[in-house]
A and B are shown apart, each in its own frame.
Chain A
Amino acid sequence: MRQHLDYLKETPSQTAGPYVHIGLAPGAAGFEIYNQELGWDIAGPNAAGERIRVEGRVIDGMGSPIKDVLLEAWQANANGIYAHPESEGDVEDGFRGWGRVITNFETGEWGFDTVKPGSVTDGNSRVMAPHISLWIVARGINVGLHTRLYFEDERDANAGDPVLNLIEWEHRRATLYAKRGERDGKTVYRFDIKLQGEDETVFFDI
């Protein structure tokens, strides 16, 4: 008799569709239902490190900003520790490391406040440059897209980053660098994501 492997198959993904906000950000859809919506406070008030704002747009293959996108961010704290049992060390009380934002329906701009993450060591003891993992879902996107935001001012760390160095087209690494600026005395990193075409952002199959 033929042997069978008894693994299950992963449930297939489907697009989040145009009304993803109803489920994941009902306030933005135009109604209040939950006592608290999740994902609005990534770092919490007690987190150490530099307070930063991250902003950007997601742009489609026609060059238009996408106005119905939802992004999730996942990051370590300033010491490079994730709020998860498999990350060794403690995070500050209230530090979740996860956030969820939607774009403005008129402008396509999104943004979140957080702290700049520290370097994280991967499973082979290689030090990864500070980064924020991003996951993008929207109408027209069949499987959520994974990318990473790195910081353009972390030049030395980025040069040694094992993930950036997997990208053999060196000029494409620049699509993952958020650009540092300042507004009203606050550090703002700009990170536009291009889904397709010229300067297409690098996406990862993780």
Chain B
Amino acid sequence: MKPGPYYQRDRQWQPAALTPDYKTSVSRSPQYSMISLETTVSEVTGPVFGHNDIDPLDRDLLNNFAKPGESPIGERIILHGRVLDENAKPVPNTLVEIWQANAGGRYRHRKDTYLAPIDPNFGGCGRTLTDEDGHYHFRTVKPGAYPWRNWVNSWRPAHVHISVFGSAFAQRLITQCYFEGDPLIAKCPIVNTIPDSDAIEQLIARLDLNATLPLDTIAYKLDIVLRGRRSTLFENRPEGN
């Protein structure tokens, strides 16, 4: 059976484009409806990455920018999980990229002027390929919350940005991972662009004591789900027949 089209993205589960409490969305959201498209070869294909593209050290944010013998300041964490599709099938060999602030909530970015200091031993980005079972893992520091100009007193919960490719351009996804128990999650207008509380729960990494390195590094787990794909049970009738 050859694979068919991807399942339609559930736009009532995903955030809408216009979410006025997140102010920047007001002028950056299309006003007209999107045109819905059956996936063609342009959408069911996507870039393929291999081990030549990345370095094994890229997934270790404790070491990929630190000076020899030094470490970033902060809570040492493992962030791991699996990339699956909506049929619960693992998505192997797909590129996962992350970026984040340091333990004080400061990004190593020329546009970030928050007064919390840069950590000389922390870059804040990493990337890896999932293994055959769809598993990924990173080592990093837990990022700090930081203020942003939305309302005068808006603070982002601690988060790690995650980018995933999947096997098709239709599966391309960027999201953010939050951490279990963070009281800022409920207050955040970016989190609350997501209409369904169960959907928000899907972005909260759980403390995973089974995956810690005792006396070394604590662990959080977040599984990521990409769009699934239909098996072609019956061929669509060709156009014009």
Identify the A interface with B (CB < 8 A). 6-24, 26, 29-31, 33-36, 38, 60-62, 66, 68, 72, 74, 76, 82-87, 96-98, 105, 120-126, 128, 131, 133, 135, 137-146, 148, 163, 166-167, 172, 195-197, 200-206
Chain A residues with CB under 8 A of B46: 74, 84, 98
* Sample of 14 further A-B pairs with CB below 8 A, known A84-B47, A142-B22: A8-B87, A10-B14, A12-B200, A13-B14, A16-B161, A34-B58, A61-B27, A85-B48, A105-B110, A122-B42, A141-B17, A204-B37, A205-B8, A205-B37
How far apart sit A122 and B41, CA to CA, in the bound complex (Å)? 6
Chain B residues with CB under 8 A of A201: 30
How far apart sit A56 and B47, CA to CA, in the bound complex (Å)? 23
Total count of chain B residues near the partner, CB < 8 A: 90
**Beta-carbon contact of A62 and B10 below 8 Å:** no
Chain B residues with CB under 8 A of A72: 172
**Beta-carbon contact of B58 and A23 below 8 Å:** no
B219 at the interface (CB under 8 A from A): no
**Beta-carbon contact of A140 and B24 below 8 Å:** yes
* Cross-chain contact of A200 among B32, B112, B172 (Cβ < 8 A): B32
Closest B residue to A202 by CB, please name it.
Answer: B35
Chain A residues with CB under 8 A of B32: 172, 200, 202
Chain A residues with CB under 8 A of B203: 11-12, 14
* Cross-chain contact of A61 among B16, B28, B88, B238 (Cβ < 8 A): B28
Whole-angstrom distance between the Cβ of A108 and the nearest chain B Cβ: 13
Chain A residues with CB under 8 A of B54: 34
